[in-house]
Amino acid sequence: MKLILNENMDDIELTKAYNEALIAVAKENPNVVDVEADVANCIFGPNFQKEFPERYIDLGICEQSLSSVSAGMSAVGMVPFCHTFAVFASRRMCDQNYISCAYAKNNVKIVASAPGISSGENGGTHHANEDIALVRPITDITIMEPADSAAMRWAVKNAAENFGVYYIRAERYGQKRIYADDAEFKIGQANVIREGNDVTLIAEGNLMLDASLKAADLLAAEGISARVVDIFTIKPIDVDTIVKCANETGAIVTVENHSITGGLGSAVAEVLVDQFCAVPMKRIGVPNRFGEVGQIPDLQKVMHMTPEDIAAAAKTVIGGKK
Amino acid sequence: MNKEELKQLKVTALHCRQNVLRMIKANGSGHLGPAFSCLDIVTALYFHVMDVDPKNPDKEDRDRFLLSAGHKGMAQYAALAEKGYFEKEILDTFGQFKCRIPGHPDMHKLPGIEVNTGSLGHGLNLACGMALALRQDKKKSRVFALMGDGELAEGSNWEAAAIAAQYKLDNLCVIVDANGLQISGHTKDVMSYEPITDHFAGFGWAVTEIDGNNMEEVVATFDKLPLESGKPNLIVAHDIKAKGFSELEDQVGCHYWAPDQEAMARAEKELEDAIKEVLAQ
């Protein structure tokens, strides 16, 4: 079955893909419910409400309740997909996600929209640059960041069909399609999007995978062959693919729409150290600073997250090889 | 309810308190005050009010009990053991490595525990989710959530108070175990949420207040549920912390008790005497 689309096709917004996927799984499973905290409009929630008015529950602006009420619904057999912005889904809901959802082994799917810098014009209050860092230490939680609409469809279906707590990051925009319509994914398996030998760019999400592919083009123009990997699930992380990339390309750059502390970069570094295969590595992502207002391309420049920044980091790590 | 049944409930509540002492004996310490104050309520729920079956703990249409104030876990274990959900020998493992009765209840370790609790401020929200989903599933099951009065200071409870009223969850009954004490002192001095009934009524709840250690009143109130159709139910149960062991009753220090042998013997003796007294009535 074909995994990569290999066509220059624009993607739909990933939140729209999420909403369509949720309606599709709700048609299959009558226990799937959409639990919201007043910001459903941002992810096309009214479409679900129109289709399943009884299974659409808006709790108002109270994210702690969003998590615990969903856990309670799960405890009597429902499959709640609870959504809010990533800033609230991680920082505000942390204790509830931990105790009521994960520790209690409930079946709650936490959907976090507008992660990282993608809340652009809303400014620093709304930039979730630490959400993965807050969620990742929680035991038995699956963290996914689908990089395009095909990956999002699979992610939602997989989350609905498998018991457990999921944290799904959903960016509000779409860049380019990466995967084939019927692509099959695996939890804990990264996908090599572009082959290369000199360095591996390990990326997460739509925005930064797109930036990494552009960086690979820039590097190719200079005769550097960069492999590009979509990590897909940040937890569990694909240890085998990371080790293989380290051994075969000898240098790694991680690329994430998140703080370089505690997210993908940290997770990859942990693998390299634990597996005794540390190679030159750099982390691209939000540096140690608060978010600020701006359009996404401007913020990418300010935070050193552009394709040019990625390409420069790649050359640095290649230069660091023994 | 006839006199004999009432007498039996009172004795059962005392047997449950004996079960709590058994757990404290095994561990050397425990939350005696909170467990003792609410045990008349918990006993009434398990032995008179709720439709539950210890032989079939996962029965589909069962009523659900949820201990929002998870640190009162010993009260629930005591009642579950007395009801026959598990062998009483398990009480002797309280607090031990990998035991099935940790300080705060775990739904995956023991039959009869519906959800995990222990972080205050989650329980009322969990109960709302359960009541909402059960109603959506067209189940007749009711949800009973026991909270502490000190716990009301957790802001997330007030989110849930609004949610329960907005969604007209009359299959939900919250009992506030209002013993007036929390770890650092009297609730009215530390952080008062009085008048509790007025606050909940303001959100649209049907509310009432009772003496939570008066079994006759407890039972009569539960028998009246739902207090009002289309409204969630709140029972503020004014009771005495550590009720049943007079030397600790209503003392700030009774929240957590690490007795020496003599103190334990005095507590055991008091309960034995109380049982004799009820039986002699």
Q: Give residue-wise pLDDT tens across range A277-305.
A: 999 999 999 999 999 899 999 999 999 99
Same domain, A136 and A217: no
Residues in chain A closer than 8 A to B116 (CB atoms): 99-100, 103-104
Supply the pLDDT for residue B138: 94
The percent of residues in chain B predicted with pLDDT above 70, rounded, is: 100
Residues A304 and A203 occupy one common structural domain: yes
pLDDT > 90 in chain B, percent? 96
For residues B173-178, average pLDDT: 97
Chain A, 86 to 145: residues with Cβ < 8 Å from chain B are: 95-96, 99-100, 103-105
Residue where one domain finishes, among candidates A170, A205, A235: A170
Asked if A129 and A196 sit in the same domain, the reply is: no
Q: In chain A, whose CA is at the least distance from the CA of B105?
A: A104
Burial (Cβ within 10 Å: 0-12, 13-18, ≥19) of residue B260: exposed
Report the residue of chain B nearest A108, measured CA to CA.
B129
More confident of the two residues A42 and B201: B201
Strand order of the β-sheet with A79-85 is A56-58, A32-36, A79-85, A109-113, A165-170, A141-144, A233-235
Positive or negative, the CA dihedral A222, A225, A230, A235 is: negative
On whether both A23 and A155 belong to a single domain, the answer is yes
pLDDT mean over B69-75: 94
Paired sense of beta strands A252-259 and A281-286, if any: parallel
Contact status of B156 with chain A (Cβ, < 8 Å) = yes
HSE-up of residue B158 (Cα within 13 Å, Cβ side)? 10
The shortest CB-CB distance from B116 to any of A78, A80, A99 is to A99
CB B106, CB B38: distance < 8 Å: no
3 state SS of B112: coil
What is the residue type of B208?
A: T
* A212/B contact by beta carbon, under 8 A: no
What the block records as the tokens of A60 is 């108002």
pLDDT of residue A139: 97
Enumerate long-range contacts of A120-125, CB under 8 Å, 24 or more apart.
A120/A293, A120/A294, A120/A295, A120/A296, A120/A299, A121/A293, A121/A294, A121/A295, A122/A293, A123/A291, A123/A292, A123/A293, A124/A290, A124/A291, A124/A292, A124/A293, A125/A87, A125/A291
Q: Are residues A166 and A242 located together in one domain of the fold?
A: no
Task: For residue A262, give the nearest of A128, A112, A147, A105 by alpha carbon.
Answer: A128
- A313 domain residue, yes or no: yes
CA B78 – CA B15 distance, rounded (Å): 8
Nearest to B118 among A70, A99, A105 (CB): A99
CATH number of the structural domain spanning residue B175: 3.40.50.970
Q: Which of B116, B124, B134 is the best substitution to test chain A (most A C-beta atoms within 10 A)?
A: B116
User: Which of A54, A60, A69 shows the shortest C-beta gap to B125?
Assistant: A69
Q: How many Cβ atoms from other residues are within 10 Å of residue B142's Cβ? A: 23
Of B106, B115, B118, the CB nearest to A75: B115
B116 and A78: CB-CB below 8 Å?
Answer: no
CATH number of the domain that residue A249 is part of: 3.40.50.920
CA gap A267, A110 in Å, rounded? 21
b/e A29-60 (16+ beta carbons within 10 angstroms → b) = eebbbbbbbebbebbbbebbbeebeebbbbbe
| N residues, chain A | 322
A299 and A221, same domain (yes or no): yes
Let me know if residue A2 belongs to a domain: no
Say how far apart CA B61 and CA B262 lie, in whole Å: 46
Q: Is A183 inside any structural domain?
A: no
Tokens of A110: 């936490």
Residue B88 has pLDDT above 90, yes or no: yes
**Residue B204 CB: number of other CB atoms within 10 A?**
16
A229 φ/ψ angles, rounded to the nearest 5 degrees: -120, 135
The yes-or-no verdict on residue B213 having pLDDT over 90 is yes
DSSP code of residue A4: B
Min Cα distance A57 → chain B (Å) is 9
Question: Which of A170, A203, A228 delimits the end of a domain?
Answer: A170
Select from B65, B126, B203 the residue whose CB has the most chain A CBs within 10 Å, as the one to mutate to test that interface. B126
Chain A closest-CA separation from residue B223 CA (Å): 25
- Residue B253: CB partners within 8 Å, gap ≥ 6? none
Distance from CA of A80 to the nearest CA of B (A): 10
Q: Is A53 on the interface with B (CB under 8 A)?
A: no
User: Do residues A308 and A201 share a domain?
Assistant: yes
CA angle, residues B33, B34, B37, in degrees to nearest 5:
85
- Closest C-alpha among A318, A185, A303 to residue A255: A303
Q: Which residues pair with A252 in a beta bridge?
A: A200, A281
Any chain B CB within 8 A of the CB of A10?
no
Q: Model confidence at B217, in pLDDT bands (50, 70, 90)?
A: very high
Q: Of the candidates A60, A68, A105, which has its C-beta nearest B129's C-beta? A: A68
Interface check B31 vs A, CB under 8 A: no
Out of A118, A139, A170, a domain closes at A170
Give kind and range of the element (H or E) at residue A281.
strand A281-286
For the residues B183-202, what does the mean pLDDT come to? 94
pLDDT digits (tens, 9 = 90+) for B4-25: 999 999 999 999 999 999 999 9
Q: What's the confidence (pLDDT) of residue A6?
A: 86
Question: Which tokens go with A33?
Answer: 């419910």
- Same-domain pairing of A63 and A166: yes
Cβ atoms within 10 Å, residue A208: 32
Tell me the Ramachandran region of residue A116: left when phi exceeds 0, alpha when psi lies from -120 to 50, beta otherwise: left
Whether residue A227 is found in the same domain as residue A112? no
CATH code, A26 = 3.40.50.970
Predicted complex ipTM: 0.89
Q: Which domain holds residue A59?
A: 14-170
* Whether A62 and B132 lie within 8 Å, measured CB to CB: no
Average pLDDT, chain B: 96
CA distance from start to end of chain B: 16
Contact between B236 and B209 under an 8 Å Cβ cutoff? The reply is yes
Cβ–Cβ below 8 Å for A60 and B163: yes
Burial class (CB in 10 A: 0-12, 13-18, 19+), A322: exposed
pLDDT in tens, B136-152: 999 999 999 999 999 99
Report the sign of the C-alpha dihedral through residues A295, A296, A301, A307, in that order. negative
Q: What is the pLDDT of residues B108-164, one digit of tens each?
A: 999 999 999 999 999 999 999 999 999 999 999 999 999 999 999 999 999 999 999
Work out how many domains chain B is built from and give that number.
Answer: 1
Q: Are residues A109 and A53 in the same domain?
A: yes
Who among B115, B125, B133 is closest to A78 (CB)? B133
Tens digits of residue pLDDT in B228-275: 999 999 999 999 999 999 999 999 888 999 999 999 999 999 999 999
| Mutation site for B-interface testing, chosen from A61, A69, A94 by largest number of B Cβ within 10 Å | A69
Could you tell me if A141 and A211 lie in one domain?
no
- Nearest by Cα to B29 from B247, B255, B182, B241: B255
Residues of B in contact with A55 (CB under 8 A): 136
Cα B224 to Cα B170: distance, rounded to the nearest angstrom: 13
Buried b (16+ CB within 10 A) or exposed e, A95-118: bbbbbbbbbbbbbbbbbbbbbbbb
Q: B235 has which bridge partners?
A: B175, B208
Within 10 Å of residue A269's Cβ, how many Cβ atoms?
17
Q: Is A164 on the interface with B (CB under 8 A)?
A: no
- Any idea which residues of A carry the catalytic annotation? 63
Query: Residue A33: its chain B contacts at CB < 8 A?
Result: 133, 136
Residue numbers in chain A where pLDDT is lower than 70: none
Distance CA A310, CA B206 (A): 61
Total number of domains in chain A? 2
Does residue B162 sit at the A interface (CB-CB below 8 Å)? yes
CA distance B122 to chain A (A): 6
B29 and chain A in contact, CB less than 8 A: no
Supply the pLDDT for residue A123.
86
Q: Which residues of B touch A69 (CB under 8 A)?
A: 125-126, 128-129, 132, 160, 163
Which domain range does residue B246 map to?
A: 3-280
